[in-house]
Each structure stands twice: as structure tokens, then as C-alpha cells.
Amino acid sequence: MNQTFGHFEDSSREYVITRPDTPLPWLNYLGQDDFFGLCTNCAGGYTFWRDAKLRRLTRYRYNNIPMDLGGRYLYLRDGDTLWNPMWKPCRTSLDRYECRHGLGYTRITSEKNGLAVEVLFFIPPGETAEVWQVTVRNQSGGAKSVQLFSFVEFCLFEALNDMTNYQRTYSIGEVEVEGSAIYHKTEFRERRNHYAMFACTRKVDGFDTSRDAFVGVHNGLHDPKAVLAGACTNSLAHGWNPVGAHQLNLNLEAGAEESFAFVLAYVDQGTDEKFEAPGILNKNRGRALVKKYAAPGAVTCALEKLRTFWDGLLGALSVQTPEPNLNRMVNTWNQYQCMTTFNLSRSASLFETGIGRGMGFRDSNQDLLGFVHMIPSRARQRILDIAGTQLCDGACYHQYQPLTKKGNAEIGGDFYDDHLWLILSTCAYIKETGDQSILEAVVGYADTPGSKETLLHHLETSIAYTLQKRGPHGLPLIGHADWNDCLNLNCFSTEPNESFQTAGDVDGSSAESVMIAGLFLYAARELSALYQAMNRPADCARLDAAYAEMLVTIEEQAWDGQWYRRAYDAAGNPIGSAECEEGQIFIESQAWCVLGGAGVENGRAAKAFESVHQHLFTPDGIILQQPPYATYHKELGEVSSYPPGYKENAGIFCHNNTWIHLGWCLLGDGDRALEYYLSICPPAKPVETYRCEPYVYAQMIAGRDAATPGEAKNSWLTGTAAWTLVAATQGILGICPGHDGLVIDPCIPRDWPGFTATRKFRGATYEITISNPRKHSKGIQSLVVDGKPISGNRIPIAPEGSTVRVTAEIQ
Ligand code: BGC
Ligand code: NOJ
């Protein structure tokens, strides 16, 4: 079914889209570390440096009609035919269209009336510039004279101001033009030391920088005045809306082709002189960039560098299993999405505007779990940045701006799970790298200027914070909410003008979260294991005691008979209990109690999971809770604001599905684990219903209570990416970094004969072959490392640079 709009090409690691009118715009990201572009299958989207709010290069109008309008546009004027190689914005029907979304690049090829155009968009590694390489080929059999126009609309850098404060922005726009390069220098005259440049590596035949001149006040992007007239006007923008447009007259003999590139760059002046003459921008860095990419072979070489970069990253983890969708997700697309969520958290996608949310405290800690094996040094820095937004009592800023790394309270706070995720990310980093020195790194508390505590201090503060913030049942207080942002038990909002995320007061409140209790178990056990690796038995014992005490509290206070309750509200009533009319059973508490180790000896873990299967599992994934809330409950908050079946109100929230996948692995049921894994796996979904990209996870699939069951939303920026990679590779395939070696503990479907995997770990490469001759799911019977049998299931750490051959058999 997915074939209708495109298909995977696994060998080139591309998703090939074969028609432009996809069910929703299908997005790709350009850029790998500092400079990013959102690029749809029609080249829609925008570009920014580091921070989609504060350093936006190009403008985007959200929720436009059509949905995806505005982006990297090229117009071709061929006789009477006006068309776009990326189809938008004119939408002239094409004779051929193909979009290949690859790792960090998008290549769109199209053809009209014998003219073939190929455009490759990417951001060369290390560069703060987007390169659009264009090749125009005359296949018509006769000579052709055509005009090509380029177009971008500049954003005046601060994206929120740019779209709201026209009384100012209409008077500040400034540009300069030199040869084929258009410089956007709004506010450079005063406090900005950066500018944007949109240049062409070929000589141009005209340009425009005024939107009114190029598009026209009464025209649209689909019929820009200058293109209709066949000539740019060489306009210089003074205020209003600066744009970058070039005109190229191309005369192509039959069979001839021309290649050139556009370069859209962000230039930071650094310590260079700002001006080369009074009021005139010092363009040296911009000029150098154009020269660099105008040189023959430069673009090919940069693209090669991008490929090498991804080959290196993906080389660290690859698997061959009997399940093709698992292979293509784990080997390529899931890891790729993990890089994106690591870079962008929840800031910029087609569902996040880049002007709202920044880096989430809990989100970024979780995103790191799927990224840490790729570039551990970046993960290290991220952990320290996140820790720096914690307050000295243990509370955290819920969000921070990537540019300033400063916490942002406007978007809410007092989420009493936030701090615990820092323990998970730090332990994952140390297990991956062995670098315990991070614990001694100095990170201050955000509310204590000059504080010089260590990261380990932050972890202990986090443990202490949960232990101290306890409610009447001895369970952790929930604060504004826990992982489920919408379970707002202290909000009681009756005012439509307030945000659920900021309303309400948690001081003195007594609502409690069972999920936080389970997460605490997990975090305390992780920290204890770390202390054990550090040979600090007294600290282990202290944490083990805190763990044991919380475990008793959970078993005594949170068991409902068939599953774990979810919470207690401010009045002490249970949530997620058979006693409730709606919201009787929730995913999160089953997942975290079980992952934290509850219910093992008393059989409750297995029972809770059977209840999940019975009440929550559907072919489209596991529903967050059942039954949905049919009406608004002010004592529950935002969760009951959504119509049944959507988002946190009984939607399929893919992120928390993955915790159940891990739970099935813990319980040893590999058949369920894979069945559940595939239920939310994008390439396995029917695309007409699912609608989002088939190659990346979405946050949410509408549940069976919704009017549109099976329909996905919020693709790309979701915690699903990291956790599903963890579930597949550490849960199902059971290749787990440990403090003193790689642990092999698969839990696979019984009919899998086995699988192979390559995993780089602490500088060595492990070639792993697992076989399953007795058709079981779990339990390693024999482990042979470089020809030597080893007892247990832990492979000792091998010397850096070595290749280790591992074979294991499931019992
Ligand atoms: C959404 C949540 C999200 C929160 C962030 C809510 O409206 O339902 O999924 O985490 O906003 O602020
Ligand atoms: C999305 C948010 O980014 C995440 O932090 C939250 O846990 C989930 N929604 C669930 O509400």
C-alpha cells in the first residue's frame, strides 16, 4: 500500500517519493549539528542556525493553505509554460517527479516539456550554509531558451517578532547585492553581527530583493509578477519584506546541460570588522563561501563528506533480522530520526513552530538514549547543558532555548518527573563510554549564581527531590504533571484563556503519581549500579534501601487488583482504577512499575501486562488509557480536554508504547514484543489512513475511540524515536551496553532462527551472531567470544580497535 506514494530504497538509504501530492507534506531535515533546514518533498520549509526562534534565516507561514507553502523555490519559464521543478507553488502538472529523501539531503528530479531538472539540497558537514545544486538538462531534441528564477523569503532573524510586529519589521529590512550574491543584513547596523546570504555560483541575469517587486502586492507565490513578466527588476529592499530572487537565462542546445548551485548561508562575523566602508557590510566570509562552492567538484566533495559522516555513524550499529521493517528502521531511519530529535528536541517540525517549545528537559534526556552511541562527545555536552537548567532544590526548568541554554519558565514548570530522567541519560552515557569523569564535571544550579556543584551532585539532588516530595500514600507527588503533560491534577482550570501547561498551583497539593514511583525505582537502580561500578558500596546500599522502600509503597498503595493504578488526584481518589468510570487503566504505570522491577515475585508484572493486552492493545498500537474521558474533568486537566481517541485522551501515544515493548522483553515474550513493535512501525502502516511519513515515527496515532482511527500526527519530533531504538536493539535484540561489558540478552519471536548484528562499543567492533535452534524467546545458553566459551551473558570489554566475534545460542 505504501507503494502508492513511494517506497524505500534500502541500498541507498533513501525514501523515494513518486508523486508530489502526498497525504501530508513529507518532511526531511538538512543539517547535522548547528545549521538546519526543514525540507518537504516539495522543498517547502525553512532554515535556521541553532535556534529556530532566535536565528531564523527564512520565513515560514504555519498552517498555511495549502499546508506546505513557502520554501526553496525555483521557477522555470519555458515559452508559455511556468512550472516548478519541486511542483510547488505553481503546481503545474509534471511529466515526471521524484523526491529522494536521504540522510541529510533531499534530491528532487522532475521533467516538463523535455526539460529535466534535478535539485539536490543539503548542508555540508561543518558549514552554516545550505547548498542547492541544480542541473538543467535539455532532453527535448531541439534547442531551448528558458528562464530560471530562484526565490527565498528572508525572516528578520527573530521568528516570533518577524510574524507579529509589523509596525517595526516593515521599516527595518536591509539588503546589499554584489554580483550574484544577495546579502540580507537587517539589524546588522546595530546589534547583530551576523547576516544571511543567498548567492548563485553562476553569473545571474537579474535579481530582486523586494518582495513587492518580485511577487507583487496582489500576486501570490504561484504567479509572481517578475516571473510572469520574464524579468527581475534588480530591486533593493528598503524595509517591507526582503527576499532573495535570481534570474538566470539558460540557452541549451539539444542534449546540453548546465549545473550550478545556490548557496543560502548564515554568516557570523566573528571578530572580523563588521563594515568594509561606512554602512557597507564586510562580505569577505560570504564571498569566500561562494567561491568555495563555485569551484569545480566542491559540491560533490561536500556531498561525499556527508555520506562518509553517515556511513561512520550508522556503522556503529547495524542488524540483520528476519524482519525487514525492523532492519530498515534500526539500520537507517530510526537512527536518523534519533539524530534529529537529539538536535532539535521538540522545537521545529511541521507540528512544532520553532517559536514555542525549545529543548525539553525530560525530552532531551530521553532523546539522548537513542543518540549516545553515535557521537558520545555531543551527548556529554548535552547532559551538562541540561543539568545546568536544574534548580538547587531538584526542580527543573521544563524547557530551555538552544541558543542561550537558559531555562524558559513561560512554558510551565514543576513537572515532578523531569529531574529523574537526568539519571537515565547520565547512566546511559557512562555505560556507553565508560567515562565516569562526567560525574565530576562542574555544573551550577540555574537559580544559584556561581554555584560549582558536580553532575553527580545533581543526580543525588534529583533522588532526594523525589524522596522529599511525597504525598499521603507515600507515593511521589505529581506536581504540575509527570511524563503525561496532560494529567494536570492540580490545575482545576475553568478559564478558557489560560494554558493547561501553566495554570494551577502545585504548592501544598497532594496529588500523587504512580508512574513517577516506577520511574524512581528505575533511576535508583541505575544509580546504584553506577555506584557499584565505582566501587562505592555505602552509596549502593543507601540507594538500594530507598528503592526497597519505594517498591513496598508501590505494592501496598498502587496495586488495583489487575493492574497498577496511575495516580491519586488532589482529593485522594484513584486514577486508573477499576473503580473509575473512565480512565480505568493507563499504560504509563504498568510500564514503569514493571521496568522498575515491581511485580516480579508476586506475579503482578505479568498480570499487569496481560491487562494491557486485554484492554489497551490494538492493531494500531497500545492506547494510552481506557475508557477515554468523554467529558471535561477539571480535576484531571488537559487529558480530558481532548476529544476521545486523540493525544493523551486514549490516543496511541507511540512514545509510551515502546516502554511496554521493553516490558514484554523483560517478561520474556518475544512474540508480543515484535507484534507490538510492528503495530506502530511506520513502514508497516497503511499510508492512506496513517498519512504521515512512512519512514519516521509519529508522536500519536488516533486510537479506536477517535473519529479517524489509525491516523498519525506529530511526526518526527517525538520521544518514540529514541525509545523505540532502545526497545528494538536493547530489548528485542538484547545488545545492551553495561558498565563492564556488552551484555547480550535478546528476547525474540520464537520462530526467528536468529539474527546478526554489528555493534561498536568503546572503540571495539562486535560481530554478533545469535541463533535460536530450539525456538525460544529468551535466555542465553551459550556464549562464545573469539572462539572461547564464556559463562553468563556479558562480553568483557575488548581493546580499542579490535574486532570481536561473538556467537550465542538461545536456550
Ligand atoms: C500536549 C502534550 C505536550 C504538551 C506540551 C499538550 O498540549 O498534549 O503532548 O507534551 O502540550 O506543552
Ligand atoms: C510530548 C512532550 O514533548 C513530552 O515531554 C510528554 O512527555 C508527552 N508529550 C506526553 O504528554
Nearest ligand 2 atom, CA 648:
11
Map grid coordinates 526497597 to a residue: 548
Helix (H, G, I), strand (E, B) or coil at 78: strand
- CA 153 – CA 243 distance, rounded (Å): 4
Nearest ligand 2 atom, CA 486:
11
CB 702 within 8 A of CB 681: no
Where b means 16+ CB within 10 Å and e means fewer, 303-336 reads: beebeebbeebbeebbbbbebebbbbbbbbbbbb
**Cα angle 786-792-797, degrees, rounded to a multiple of 5:** 50
Map grid coordinates 489512513 to a residue: 689
CB 369 within 8 A of CB 424: yes
Determine the distance separating the centroid of ligand 1 and the alpha carbon of 644, expressed in angstroms.
16
Nearest ligand 2 atom, CA 484:
11
Nearest ligand 1 atom, CA 653:
9
For the question of residue 569 being annotated catalytic, the response is no
Residue 411: its pLDDT value, please? 82
Residue 810: its pLDDT value, please? 98
Residue 690: its pLDDT value, please? 98
* DSSP letter for each residue of 723-758: HHHHIIIIIIS-EEEETTEEEE--B--TT--EEEEE
Helix (H, G, I), strand (E, B) or coil at 405: coil
> 0.95 exceeded by the pTM?
yes
Cβ–ligand 2 distance for 794 under 6 Å, the answer: no
* DSSP letter for each residue of 528-558: HHHHHHTT-HHHHHHHHHHHHHHHHHHHHHT
The side-by-side arrangement of strands in the sheet containing 735-738 is 735-738, 741-744, 794-795
What is the Cα 787 distance to its own chain's centre? 40
For residue 411, give the DSSP letter.
G
Nearest ligand 2 atom, CA 362:
5
- CA 624 – CA 703 distance, rounded (Å): 9
CA dihedral 537, 543, 547, 549 (to 10 degrees): 100
Written as nine digits, the cell of 687 is 499510508
Map grid coordinates 485522551 to a residue: 649
CB 65 within 8 A of CB 93: no
Phi, psi of 642, deg, nearest 5: -80, 140
CB 458 within 8 A of CB 390: yes
- CA 390 – CA 406 distance, rounded (Å): 10
CA dihedral 436, 442, 444, 449 (to 10 degrees): 170
- CA 462 – CA 390 distance, rounded (Å): 9
Cβ–ligand 2 distance for 483 under 6 Å, the answer: yes
Which run of H or of E encompasses 617? strand 617-618
What is the Cα 399 distance to its own chain's centre? 15
CB 670 within 8 A of CB 732: yes
Cβ–ligand 1 distance for 647 under 6 Å, the answer: yes
Cβ–ligand 1 distance for 317 under 6 Å, the answer: no
360 alpha carbon, closest ligand: 2
Nearest of 649, 638, 647, 658 to residue 701 by alpha carbon: 647
Written as nine digits, the cell of 312 is 561512520
Cβ–ligand 1 distance for 648 under 6 Å, the answer: yes
CB 145 within 8 A of CB 179: no
- CA 540 – CA 546 distance, rounded (Å): 10
The string of pLDDT tens digits covering residues 751-770 is 999 999 999 999 999 999 99
Residue 725: its pLDDT value, please? 98
For residue 643, give the DSSP letter.
P
Nearest of 516, 420, 509, 505 to residue 472 by alpha carbon: 509
Determine the distance separating the centroid of ligand 1 and the alpha carbon of 347, expressed in angstroms.
13
Residue 410: its pLDDT value, please? 83
Cβ–ligand 1 distance for 363 under 6 Å, the answer: no
Pick from 364, 416, 425, 483 the residue to mutate for probing ligand 2's pocket: most ligand atoms within 8 Å of its CB.
483
CA distance readout (Å), 179 to 299, 405, 683: 20, 38, 47
**Low-confidence residues in the chain, pLDDT < 50:** 1-2
Q: Write down the catalytic residue from 51, 367, 418, 485.
A: 485
Nearest of 493, 526, 634, 518 to residue 586 by alpha carbon: 518
Phi, psi of 412, deg, nearest 5: 105, 165
- CA 388 – CA 375 distance, rounded (Å): 21
Cβ–ligand 2 distance for 649 under 6 Å, the answer: no
Residue 626: its pLDDT value, please? 98
Cβ–ligand 1 distance for 488 under 6 Å, the answer: no
Pick from 408, 485, 646, 649 the residue to mutate for probing ligand 1's pocket: most ligand atoms within 8 Å of its CB.
485
Cis upstream peptide for 476 (omega within 30°): no
The string of pLDDT tens digits covering residues 458-515 is 999 999 999 999 999 999 999 999 999 999 999 999 999 999 999 999 999 999 999 9
Residue 1: its pLDDT value, please? 43
- CA 489 – CA 495 distance, rounded (Å): 16
Cβ–ligand 2 distance for 647 under 6 Å, the answer: no
Nearest of 564, 603, 598 to residue 584 by alpha carbon: 564
Determine the distance separating the centroid of ligand 2 and the alpha carbon of 485, expressed in angstroms.
6
CB 492 within 8 A of CB 634: yes
- Residue closest via CA to ligand 2's atom 10 equals 484
- CA 7 – CA 28 distance, rounded (Å): 15
**Cα angle 420-340-371, degrees, rounded to a multiple of 5:** 50
CB 694 within 8 A of CB 24: no
364 alpha carbon, closest ligand: 2
Written as nine digits, the cell of 4 is 502508492
Q: Considering just the CA atoms, what is the radius of gyration of the chain in Å?
A: 28
Determine the distance separating the centroid of ligand 2 and the alpha carbon of 453, expressed in angstroms.
29
- CA 38 – CA 119 distance, rounded (Å): 15
Question: Residue 371 corresponds to which amino acid?
Answer: F
**Residues paired with residue 809 on neighbouring β-strands, in sequence order:** 771, 782
- CA 711 – CA 692 distance, rounded (Å): 8
Centre a 10 Å sphere on the Cβ of residue 5 and count the other Cβ atoms it contains.
21
Map grid coordinates 555544573 to a residue: 443
CB 483 within 8 A of CB 656: yes
Beta strands in 26-161 (DSSP E): 27-30, 35-40, 47-49, 56-58, 73-78, 81-83, 96-102, 105-112, 115-122, 129-138, 144-157
Determine the distance separating the centroid of ligand 1 and the alpha carbon of 510, expressed in angstroms.
22
Determine the distance separating the centroid of ligand 1 and the alpha carbon of 486, expressed in angstroms.
7
Cβ–ligand 2 distance for 651 under 6 Å, the answer: no
Which residues lie below 8 Å from residue 178, measured CB to CB, with a gap of 6+? 283, 287
Centre a 10 Å sphere on the Cβ of residue 608 and count the other Cβ atoms it contains.
24
For residue 477, give the DSSP letter.
B
Which residues lie below 8 Å from residue 509, measured CB to CB, with a gap of 6+? 477, 479, 489, 490, 570
CB 195 within 8 A of CB 286: yes
Tell me the longest C-alpha to C-alpha distance in the chain: 84
Which residues lie below 8 Å from residue 45, measured CB to CB, with a gap of 6+? 27, 37, 38, 39, 60, 68, 70, 71, 72
CB neighbour class for 691 (10 Å; exposed up to 12, middle 13-18, buried from 19): buried
Cβ–ligand 1 distance for 482 under 6 Å, the answer: no
**Residues paired with residue 243 on neighbouring β-strands, in sequence order:** 153
Residue 66: its pLDDT value, please? 96
410 alpha carbon, closest ligand: 1
Question: Residue 785 corresponds to which amino acid?
Answer: V
* DSSP letter for each residue of 778-804: B-EEEEEETTEEESSSEEPPPPTT-EE
Cβ–ligand 1 distance for 68 under 6 Å, the answer: no
Cβ–ligand 2 distance for 486 under 6 Å, the answer: yes
Map grid coordinates 556527508 to a residue: 306
Q: At what angle do helices 455-468 and 418-433 cross, to 10 degrees?
A: 140
Pick from 636, 648, 720 the residue to mutate for probing ligand 1's pocket: most ligand atoms within 8 Å of its CB.
648
Nearest ligand 2 atom, CA 717:
3
Map grid coordinates 520553532 to a residue: 354
- CA 47 – CA 59 distance, rounded (Å): 8
For residue 670, give the DSSP letter.
H
